[in-house]
């Protein structure tokens, strides 16, 4: 894809200094990158007012830099920092240029903040992006099994549970041993460290002497380094291996950052060679042998020990002090005529449990979800809030935990490096070395212009479902501070819209959900100048103000605030529908306004978020429904992020035409809100059908190719899988089909379920301190209290 970056030439009376393309130092130190200047944009009176240059394809090599001829640079999302970062631009966490070293069949297992990513044989080759990672630190960087000095042959492998996997292998051909005479099974479990069981069985006719070797290495790399560029710590890593072959030990310390990895072998290895465990085996025909490997970790002041050793291990449930147990034990049970509905629901719940994070807030154990495997197993404000909203039908524990966690980290002051502003909710927290030592701004980082409004939306929805006024009052000051941020800092220029532009040298260029460097662009491929106000953020702001007005009228007993907020929301809706609406292409909402208040005229799925927020007038809803379900946006598997008619469309571009389940869940919910139930159900059916092709799991995203291309959804190459808001999407799909809303202390049910799904029953749905049974079939349904 190519395009142009140009400043605000649309305002023909504006006389900014001429703009040309500058020279930018290559981030890797390879010399300056030259930008051609192909032409001059004519200003008023025919004078040469603007130059503009070619759009850079790779932001890590040649980022766009709009500068004036007097030297003033205009930041864009591709080059957003107010000043260059030392050593060149630091790639954002959403840049997806990772090499697929582990292959398309890589196997990941996870539990909370820990995950192990390997290739299909269970190996982590040296120098790959795989490994055992906990709290954003890699505790194993190599984990390779060799039989007779050769990698075994792969027979098959897969995850069994989100936290476990099985790998089936056989020996390769060796000088004294034909292939497939020795079978190997690897069973792997992640949970507070890792446990692995390796079983070997001989199928040869004669005794087989053979060497089994596990090659191990540890680099303690920060997750940012795993994705970008490794720093060699080998000289600082202390090894204390035992002479009896029972334990490998690696330790590293840098100022206050202390980590260690142990590998305990039962039975002990015959010997240790370097960092390798080596067993000299003599296997008789039919004989089996196995070794158990325990991998406890030490992170700063916390010692974590493996907790699972068998497939199907579950958490202890029912303890009052166990937030995960309460969540698991209280989640609804589903009974459905449709195997598809039932299977996708069960997988979604299992994945959400695997991504849970437990914390203690003010003496209370709470739970929220990390964002996704492999690179986002941490708190992401936007992701966690939307996940909790989607999953409310599955219980309020996630919403409560998310609200309290974000409130505990709400900003109280200004800081450019972290994009922190008073009242703003955090975007991303990291626990790796670079963050803890202040090299990275993620402790936490606040670069999101929508998390604060979404937090208010979730607070309101949680209260509607639970009536929990105690929590409401506990976070009252947080809610008021969030409102202050929206009005004073979110709307930085006083134009009535919340916009974003980073102040950090390592900040995100796009601070909306389309947070890749080119996720926001015009229909002709132009990357707009900052600050940017995207359309859905205005919708979230509108919804947040109306919801806070409801709380102000009720539990907060602040009628004056309620009146002001309703007036603000009405004014915002009027202004928004004037400034963002475009009559071209049959009518639609612009993706946003750029730094010169000009429309960013791409046609995107973000319009569906506007329906979810309620900012769309009824007379325009039908236009949006038609656009969203048109061939340009609807692929047959879901709504694409970008129209196929837009110049930047790419079915495998991160936000440029892919299909995102979480996005589609909000679009479907918004369509249903305006009465377009058939359109909503069409999306829901397509999404659930897509899940069937990936073991009943919806990934972060899949490619935007039309369904007619191959009859199966084409994977997106580096999608997180599982990812929290994708896993929670089927729960919101259920709620949308049920037409289930919490209104004034009671549930309202208005079902419209596709005929193919038949009867669906949910037991133990929590609401208002009670449990409910919900059963629907087509347009019929009932609610009843259960003991």
pLDDT tens sequence across 456-495: 999 999 999 999 999 999 999 999 999 999 999 999 999 9
Q: Is the pLDDT of residue 543 over 90?
A: yes
Task: Kindly list the structural domains of the chain, giving each domain's residue range(s) and its CATH number in brackets, ordered by start.
Answer: 4-74 (no CATH), 107-304 (2.70.98.40), 323-786 (1.50.10.10)
Residues 6+ away with beta carbon under 8 Å from 711: none
Confidence check: pLDDT of 51 > 80: no
pLDDT at 61 over 50: no
Mean pLDDT of 747-763: 97
User: pLDDT confidence of 714, banded at 50, 70, 90?
Assistant: very high
Q: Which letter does DSSP use for residue 487 in this model?
A: I
CA–CA distance, 455 with 472 (Å, rounded to integer) = 12
| C-alpha to C-alpha distance for 433 and 537, rounded to whole angstroms | 33
Grade residue 33 by pLDDT with cuts at 50, 70 and 90. very low
pLDDT in the model for residue 323: 53
What are the angstrom distances between the C-alpha of 510 and each of 198, 601, 643?
46, 16, 19
Quick one: how many helices (H) and strands (E) in the chain? 17, 39
pLDDT higher than 90, residue 3: no
pLDDT of 311: 67
pLDDT on residue 125: 95
- Under 8 Å between Cβ of 733 and 705: no
Instruction: Report the chain's mean pLDDT, rounded to a whole number.
Output: 87
pLDDT score, position 209? 95
Share of the chain above pLDDT 70, in %: 86
Q: Is the predicted pLDDT of residue 210 greater than 70, yes or no?
A: yes
**Bond before 722 cis per omega within 30 degrees:** yes
Residue 17 CB neighbours (<10 A)? 14
Cβ contacts of residue 537 below 8 Å, gap of 6+? 449, 450, 453, 498, 500, 512
Residue 325 pLDDT: 60
Is 395 buried (19+), middle (13-18) or exposed (0-12) by CB count in 10 A?
Answer: buried
- Say what the pLDDT of residue 711 is: 87
Average pLDDT over residues 131-153: 96
**pLDDT tens-place string over residues 243-260:** 999 999 999 999 989 999
Q: Nearest CA to 338 among 713, 679, 761? A: 761
Gyration radius (Cα) of the chain, Å:
27
Tell me the pLDDT band of 102, cut-offs 50, 70 and 90. confident
Segment 534-554 shows an average pLDDT of 98
Give the C-alpha separation, 123 to 278, whole Å: 16
Q: What is the pLDDT of residues 410-437, one digit of tens each?
A: 999 999 999 999 999 999 999 999 999 9
For position 7, what pLDDT does the model report?
A: 31
113 or 198: which leads in pLDDT = 198
Alpha carbon distances (Å) from 565 to 22, 205, 536, 578, 589: 45, 82, 19, 20, 24
Q: Residue 105: pLDDT above 50?
A: yes
Question: Quick one: pLDDT band at residue 303, thresholds 50, 70, 90?
Answer: confident
Q: Where are the alpha helices (DSSP H) in 270-374?
A: 323-330, 339-354
**Comparing 56-60, 170-174, 651-655, which segment has the lowest mean pLDDT?**
56-60
Evaluate if residue 94 carries a pLDDT over 80. Answer: no
pLDDT of the residue at 90: 40
For the cut 70, the answer to whether the pLDDT of residue 327 exceeds it is no
pLDDT tens by residue, 609-637? 999 999 999 999 999 999 999 999 999 99
- Residue 309 confidence (pLDDT): 63
Mean pLDDT of 717-730: 93
In the structure encoding, which two tokens stand for residue 290, read together?
């196995």
Q: What is the pLDDT of residue 50?
A: 27
| pLDDT interval class at 182 (50, 70, 90) | very high
Within 10 angstroms of residue 80's Cβ, the number of other Cβ atoms is 28
Q: Judge contact between 612 and 669, C-beta under 8 A.
A: yes
pLDDT of residue 58 exceeding 80, the answer is: no
Q: What is the mean pLDDT of residues 351-366?
A: 90
Residue 24 has pLDDT above 60, yes or no: no
pLDDT band for 57, please (50, 70, 90 cuts): very low
Q: How far apart are the first and last CA of the chain?
A: 59
**pLDDT on residue 72:** 66
User: Which residues are registered as beta bridge partners of 380?
Assistant: 428
558-582 per-position pLDDT tens digit: 999 999 999 999 999 999 999 999 9
Contacts of 433 (CB under 8 A, 6+ apart): 137, 220, 222, 254, 257, 259
pLDDT of residue 227: 81
Res. 408 pLDDT band, cuts 50 70 90: very high
Quickly state the pLDDT bin for 743 (edges 50, 70, 90).
very high
What integer is the mean pLDDT of 366-394? 93
Report the C-alpha gap between 751 and 558 in whole angstroms: 35
**How high is the pLDDT of residue 66?**
56
Answer yes or no: are the C-beta atoms of 93 and 43 closer than 8 Å.
no
What pLDDT is recorded for position 308? 61
Residue 83's pLDDT is 66
26 vs 169: CA distance, rounded Å? 45
| Arithmetic mean of pLDDT, 498-509 | 96
**Can you tell me the mean pLDDT for 447-460?**
98
pLDDT at 310: 72
Q: For the ranges 150-164, 608-622, 663-677, which has the lowest average pLDDT? A: 150-164
**Residue 253: phi, psi to the nearest 5?**
-140, 135
Q: Find out whether the peptide bond into 444 is cis, omega within 30 degrees of 0.
A: yes
Residue-level pLDDT at 91: 40
Distance CA 244, CA 773 (A): 59
């Amino acid at each position: 894809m190519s395009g142009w970056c140009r400043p605000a030439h649309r305002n023909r009376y504006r006389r900014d200094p001429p703009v040309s393309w500058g020279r930018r130092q290559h981030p890797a130190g390879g010399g300056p990158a030259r930008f051609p200047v192909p032409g001059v944009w004519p200003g008023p009176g025919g004078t040469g007012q603007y130059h503009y240059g070619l759009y850079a394809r790779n932001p890590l090599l040649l980022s766009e830099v709009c500068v004036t001829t007097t030297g003033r640079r205009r930041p864009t999302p591709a080059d957003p920092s107010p000043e260059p970062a030392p050593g060149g631009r630091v790639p954002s966490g959403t840049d997806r240029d990772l090499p697929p070293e582990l292959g398309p069949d890589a196997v990941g297992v996870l539990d909370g903040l820990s995950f192990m990513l390997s290739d299909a044989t269970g190996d982590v080759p040296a120098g790959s992006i795989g490994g055992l990672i906990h709290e954003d630190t890699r505790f194993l960087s190599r984990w390779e099994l060799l039989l007779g000095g050769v990698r075994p042959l792969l027979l098959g492998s897969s995850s069994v549970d989100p936290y476990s996997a099985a790998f089936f292998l056989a020996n390769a051909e060796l000088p004294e041993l034909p292939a497939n005479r020795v079978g190997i099974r690897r069973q792997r479990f992640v949970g507070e460290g890792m446990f692995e069981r390796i079983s070997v069985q001989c199928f040869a006719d004669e005794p087989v002497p053979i060497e089994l070797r596990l090659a191990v290495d540890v680099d303690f790399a920060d997750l940012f380094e795993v994705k970008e560029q490794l720093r060699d710590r080998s000289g600082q890593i202390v090894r204390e291996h035992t002479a009896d072959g029972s334990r490998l030990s690696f330790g590293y310390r840098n100022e206050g950052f202390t980590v260690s990895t142990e590998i305990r072998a039962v039975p002990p290895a015959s010997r240790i060679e370097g960092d390798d465990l080596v067993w000299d085996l003599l296997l008789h025909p039919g004989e089996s042998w196995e070794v158990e490997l325990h991998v406890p970790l030490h992170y700063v002041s916390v010692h974590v020990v493996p907790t699972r050793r068998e497939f199907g291990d579950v958490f202890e449930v029912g303890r009052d002090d166990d937030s995960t147990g309460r969540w698991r034990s209280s989640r609804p049970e589903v009974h459905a005529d449709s195997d598809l509905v039932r299977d996708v629901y069960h997988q979604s719940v299992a994945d959400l449990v695997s991504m849970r994070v437990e914390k203690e807030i003010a003496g209370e154990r709470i739970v929220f979800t990390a964002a996704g495997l492999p690179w986002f197993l941490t708190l992401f404000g936007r992701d966690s809030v939307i996940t909790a909203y989607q999953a409310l039908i599955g219980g309020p524990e996630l919403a409560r935990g998310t609200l309290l966690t974000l409130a505990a980290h709400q900003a109280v002051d200004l800081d450019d490096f972290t994009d922190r502003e008073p009242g703003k909710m955090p975007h991303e927290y990291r626990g790796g070395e670079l963050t803890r030592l202040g090299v990275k701004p993620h402790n936490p980082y606040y670069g999101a212009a929508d998390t604060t409004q979404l937090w208010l939306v979730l607070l309101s929805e949680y209260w509607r479902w639970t009536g929990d006024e105690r929590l409401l009052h506990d976070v009252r000051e947080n809610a008021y501070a969030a409102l202050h941020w929206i009005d004073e800092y979110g709307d930085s220029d006083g134009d009535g819209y919340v916009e974003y532009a980073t102040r950090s040298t390592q900040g995100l260029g796009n601070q909306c959900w389309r947070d890749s460097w080119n996720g926001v662009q015009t229909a002709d491929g132009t990357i707009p100048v900052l600050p940017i106000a995207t359309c859905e953020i205005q919708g979230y702001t509108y919804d947040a103000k109306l919801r806070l007005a409801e709380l102000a009228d009720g539990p907060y007993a602040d009628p004056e605030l309620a009146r002001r907020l309703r007036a603000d929301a009405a004014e915002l809706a009027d202004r928004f529908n004037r400034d963002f609406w475009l009559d071209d292409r049959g009518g639609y909402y612009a993706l946003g306004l750029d730094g010169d208040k000009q429309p960013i005229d791409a046609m995107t799925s973000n319009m569906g978020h506007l329906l979810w927020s309620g900012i769309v007038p009824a007379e325009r809803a039908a236009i949006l429904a038609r656009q969203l379900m048109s061939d340009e946006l609807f692929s047959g598997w879901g709504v694409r992020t970008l129209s196929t008619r837009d110049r930047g469309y790419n079915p495998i571009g991160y936000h440029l035409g892919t299909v995102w389940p979480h996005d589609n869940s909000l679009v479907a919910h918004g369509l249903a809100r305006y009465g377009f139930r058939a359109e909503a159900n069409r999306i829901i059916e397509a999404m659930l059908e897509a899940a069937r092709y990936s073991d009943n799991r919806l990934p972060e995203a899949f490619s935007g190719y039309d369904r007619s291309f191959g009859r199966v959804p084409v994977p997106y190459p580096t999608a997180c899988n599982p990812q929290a808001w994708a896993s929670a999407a089927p729960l919101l799909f259920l709620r949308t089909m049920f037409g289930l809303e919490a209104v004034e202390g009671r549930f309202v049910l208005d079902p419209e379920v596709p005929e193919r799904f038949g009867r669906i029953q949910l037991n133990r749905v929590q609401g208002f301190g009670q449990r409910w049974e919900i059963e629907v079939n087509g347009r019929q349904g009932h609610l009843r209290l259960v003991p």
